[in-house]
Amino acid sequence: MIARKTVPLARPDVGEEEIDAVVSVLRTPILSIGPKIEEFEERCAAVAGRRYGVAVNSGTSALHLIVRGLGIGQGDEVITTPFSFVASSNVLLYERAKPVFVDIDPLTYNIDIDWIEAAITSRTKAILVVDVFGQAVNMLRLAEIAKRYDLLLIEDSCEAIGGAYDGVPCGHLGDAGAFAFYPNKQITTGEGGVLVTDSADLYRMARSLRNQGRGEASEWLAHDRLGYNYRLSEINAVLGVEQIKRLDEILAKRSEVARKYTERLQDIPLVTPPRIDPRVRMSWFVYVVRVDETVDRDKLMVFLRERGVGCRPYFSPIHLQPFYRQMFGYREGDFPITEDVAKSTIALPFFNRITDEEIDYVCEMLREGIVACRK
Ligand SMILES: *Cc1c(COP(=O)(O)O)cnc(C)c1O
């Protein structure tokens, strides 16, 4: 089968100005720990309406430093979602805390807030929520619950920079939030992440931990605590600065792509477009459709790929990953909504510069595939 076109799942949008900015940093002697990371941090904090930002070498590192910096560890339980990228739970395992999963809302795919209180025990230390696919969670409601039970609240906004719920920006509420900048994210630094917070203590701790546990004022080889090398280079940071300047433009472009997909999907049977809570301002990360249970989803993905259409299942439930099964004894059926959604969703090609012809081609192949892949 020869594909008529190839449409990748994702493609970063790096322009000439960004390339020039990276080259200009390369012409200076400061390739790490310099002015660009500071500027990038300020801009990230501003997007979330926060006092502080600490940029690091990945979103996972940002989440890890939040968990470690807030003192979550052995014996602590953290309520979180099984429908996420594995990193949002792995960072708890790094610190020997236990993820306690709560199933998701079948429409938004975010953690079902109604079920959180039932999962709270005397060992619960925190709630870690995820803005899945760029759809903000209701942090106002979560903050109330966290306050009532005296719990820490962490927002994994790695898929949702610039999004909001009821006007509250992603990463704005709770003890800290994280954004990520891998090349498939809305904006990229190549690799990178940032934590945002209003806490001066967490800010100082995270800056120390990312730099081998050095104290702010101490000598280069004085280490106050066990730390890591989670530093972000100036080369990556300057790319982030240039990208985040374009955040509004990029998010508007992505909204427009999502709108076009949703419009075209109206007359494709057995495919449901993403459903967005009317109180949410989306920061579109991926465009994930749900196919009817009468369609063989896996066969459909093969069909699409053979025709050059990049696609992927999003996500694979965390509790069913082999080492989670092994560590905690999870089995199929434990979180049925997550499992149902995970079995029936497909991420379609989605990036800033996708053309109308490419969108049309993807939808045409999807329409044919749905018919060809009935169970
Ligand atoms: C991308 C992402 C992260 C962080 O990923 P990195 O590759 O470490 O930057 C964390 N959580 C979620 C939900 C993500 O989508």
pLDDT 10s digits, 131-158:
999 999 999 999 999 999 999 999 999 9
| Residues 350/185, Cβ–Cβ less than 8 Å | no
CB of residue 58 inside a 6 A radius of ligand 1: yes
The pLDDT assigned to 73 comes to: 98
| Catalytic residue selected from 36, 185, 343, 375 | 185
The pLDDT assigned to 92 comes to: 98
Confidence of residue 62 (pLDDT cuts 50, 70, 90): very high
Q: Token pair for residue 125? A: 């230390």
SS3 call for 34: coil
Does 200 score more than 90 pLDDT?
A: yes
The pLDDT assigned to 1 comes to: 61
pLDDT 10s digits, 308-365:
999 999 999 999 999 999 999 999 999 999 999 999 999 999 999 999 999 999 999 9
The pLDDT assigned to 4 comes to: 78
Query: Nearest C-alpha to atom 9 of ligand 1 is from which residue?
Result: 59
C-alpha 86 – ligand 1 centre gap (Å): 8
CB of residue 55 inside a 6 A radius of ligand 1: no
pLDDT 10s digits, 291-300:
999 999 999 9
The pLDDT assigned to 217 comes to: 75
What is the average pLDDT value for the chain, to the nearest integer? 97
What does the alpha-carbon distance between residue 343 and residue 314 come to, in Å, rounded to a whole number? 9
Average pLDDT of the segment spanning 173-192:
98
C-alpha 4 – ligand 1 centre gap (Å): 33
The Cα-based distances of 288 to 13, 135, 271, 312 in angstroms read: 20, 12, 10, 9
The pLDDT assigned to 220 comes to: 78
Average pLDDT of the segment spanning 174-193:
98
Does 90 score more than 80 pLDDT?
A: yes
Counting ligand 1 atoms within 8 A of each CB, the residue from 9, 57, 58, 60 with the most, and so the one to mutate, is 60
Query: Nearest C-alpha to atom 13 of ligand 1 is from which residue?
Result: 85
C-alpha 194 – ligand 1 centre gap (Å): 11
| Residues 88/323, Cβ–Cβ less than 8 Å | no
Counting ligand 1 atoms within 8 A of each CB, the residue from 156, 285, 288, 315 with the most, and so the one to mutate, is 156
Query: Nearest C-alpha to atom 2 of ligand 1 is from which residue?
Result: 158
What does the alpha-carbon distance between residue 5 and residue 168 come to, in Å, rounded to a whole number? 41
Name which of 85, 81, 59, 71 is nearest 195 in CA terms: 59
> Is there a catalytic annotation at residue 253?
no
CB of residue 48 inside a 6 A radius of ligand 1: no
Q: Which atom of ligand 1 is least distant from the CA of 159?
A: 15
Confidence of residue 215 (pLDDT cuts 50, 70, 90): confident
> For the chain, which domains are there?
16-245 (3.40.640.10), 247-372 (3.90.1150.10)
* 333 CA to centre of own chain: 25
Does 224 score more than 70 pLDDT?
A: yes
The pLDDT assigned to 353 comes to: 95
C-alpha 91 – ligand 1 centre gap (Å): 11
Average pLDDT of the segment spanning 218-247:
94
CB of residue 87 inside a 6 A radius of ligand 1: yes
Counting ligand 1 atoms within 8 A of each CB, the residue from 63, 64, 90, 182 with the most, and so the one to mutate, is 182
Higher pLDDT, 53 or 3: 53
Does 221 score more than 90 pLDDT?
A: no
Q: Which atom of ligand 1 is least distant from the CA of 192?
A: 9
The pLDDT assigned to 336 comes to: 98
Query: Nearest C-alpha to atom 6 of ligand 1 is from which residue?
Result: 59
pLDDT 10s digits, 296-317:
999 999 999 999 999 999 999 9
Average pLDDT of the segment spanning 205-210:
97
